[in-house]
Amino acid sequence: MQEAHARVYAAIAAIPRGRVASYGAIAARAGLPGRARLVGRLLGEVPDGMELPWYRVLRSDGHIAMPPGSRGFREQSRLLRAEGVEVKNGRVPLSRFGLDADIDRLLWGMPGG
């Protein structure tokens, strides 16, 4: 496995329970800014035996990337909700559940507050 691929998988594995990250955020954390599509491709090519919280990775706007109503969409929604993540109309509010939500709140306070 290429080192860059290993870094992407490590960044996905590091997303804590109850949090989500965008494909682009994972790419940046893996040292590959601008390579969101690579992250998506690698999620489709996870090596046999590797367990990853794939369902915690979303589009940059917080939407689930799979077609609404598809089996994968339903499974991702179910797994996220099981961790306490709010999913409404296929979208997760990144301001509350994104990786950097706690840091943003600490620095800037709650939006509109």
- pLDDT given at position 102: 61
Q: Identify whether the C-beta of residue 86 lies closer than 8 Å to the C-beta of residue 96.
A: yes
Q: Identify whether the C-beta of residue 54 lies closer than 8 Å to the C-beta of residue 80.
A: no
Compute the average pLDDT of residues 75-87: 98
In terms of C-beta distances under 8 Å and separation of at least 24 residues, what long-range contacts does 66-72 make, across chains too?
none
- pLDDT given at position 94: 92
Domains and CATH numbers, the chain: 3-108 (1.10.10.10)
Compute the average pLDDT of residues 81-105: 87
pTM, two decimals, is 0.87
Mean pLDDT value across the chain:
90
Q: How far is CA 7 from CA 10, 46, 76, in A?
A: 5, 13, 23
18-68 pLDDT, tens digit each: 999 999 999 999 999 999 999 999 999 999 999 999 999 999 999 999 999
Per-residue confidence band for 100, with pLDDT thresholds at 50, 70 and 90: confident
18-28 pLDDT, tens digit each: 999 999 999 99
**What is the share, in percent, of the chain residues with pLDDT greater than 90?**
85
Q: Considering Cα of 65, then 95, then 46, then 77, what sign does the dihedral take?
A: negative
Task: Give me 47's structure tokens.
Answer: 């090596």
pLDDT for residue 16 is more than 70: yes
Spatial separation of the C-alpha atoms in residues 70 and 90, rounded to whole Å: 11
